[in-house]
Structure 1
Amino acid sequence: MAPTPDILATFEAAKGFMPVDEGLALYAAARDAGRLGLPLLEVGTYCGRSTILLADAAREGGTVAVTVDHHRGSEEQQPGWEYHDPSVVDDDPGVGRMDTLPTFRRTLYKAGLEDHVIAVVGRSPQVAKVWQAPLGLVFIDGGHTDEHAGADYEGWAPHVAPGGLLVIHDVFPDPADGGQAPYRVYLRALASDAFTEVSVTRSLRVLRRTGLGN
């Protein structure tokens, strides 16, 4: 089942990088995982484009979407890099750093989904260390270095409940198409005793927890 036209239009209008076909695959995975009645967690909020889909699926499943981000931008979003957007830089002269949190809050408000999201402002590994609850879905879409992507996998994959889903974005087997850190995380998950692949949609991979490994 696809999101409603209103939700899809809000997703397409939101600032972010996920294309529609991958968004629809993420939504389908979130609807599937939402049947477990457990929270759906996203690492890497940015401005909330994908959060819209997770939140709507969580609403349908009677659960909640949790999204984790420090809101200072990942490596490739800093000044001078390819994905830098000066419109999300704090214009206070005493700060002058990226701050995507206000844009994210506007995105959720416009989507009418604020009541279905818990936004955690902090660094993923620190949050993962204090997280105790099982999760129906973990969507890894944060920093794209080996250090950050690996830490996201190590911190959050163990929290995926049996039957739950691990979703990894920006998986590019060919280095010419993009960075390799998410691809290496994907290979780690497949090589473990924990996950089997469910679907592939361009750079989005969906895996289900079927075992006890990490």
Structure 2
Amino acid sequence: MGIAEEERQERLSVFLARVYMASMAGKRDNERHKALLLKTGVKVQKNTPHHKQTLRAVLSLASVKLVKQTEHECFLVLDGLDVSDVSETEVAVTEFLSDNVEISGKHVAGFARAKAARAASMRLKKERDDRRMQDNAEKDETLQAIVARGEQTRLGLIEVADDDAELEPDVWLSVNRGHHVLMALKIAPEQLRSIILKFDARD
């Protein structure tokens, strides 16, 4: 059975190498990819992976129908070649699938190598996404804490000028952190008066 599986993978390897080259070309050129789908009449959903779309289109052109399990296996191999940055040639794909390498502590070759490379890439992506989500959550907590402290701390009292008082023609509104000016905005006297009145109304 092992020999039969090896022969099956060898026969599929050349086919998958050619599909891989077509799929990567379509990945760089979306219009070309759309034209392929339109020509073959293959219907895909928004969440259908790119390589699976190309695979189905090529199978349609060749009038070949694979069982779902084999089609999915071929997609996994194509995706594994992509995440492994395999060169887009038959020789490179054949060499990649024939070499025996260690991935995540296991020696793998053939289709198993491509699928293991894909699984390792997905784990790495999930770890990065999890770290990003954790970092964002920590930043949100920090921001909420700063806002909460700011709401509890009185910034000071702004006295409203008398209605008859005159404001300077050139007025700057400064936002500071300590002695450092973070932002300075030139505003009209009417705008400054409006801000002061709004702030004073909160007190």
TM (norm. structure 2) is 0.23
Pick the structure with more helix per residue: 2
Q: Which fold has the larger relative contact order, with Cα–Cα distance below 8 Å and residues 6 or more apart in sequence?
A: 1
Q: Which has the larger radius of gyration?
A: 2
TM (norm. structure 1) is 0.22
Pick the structure with more strand per residue: 1
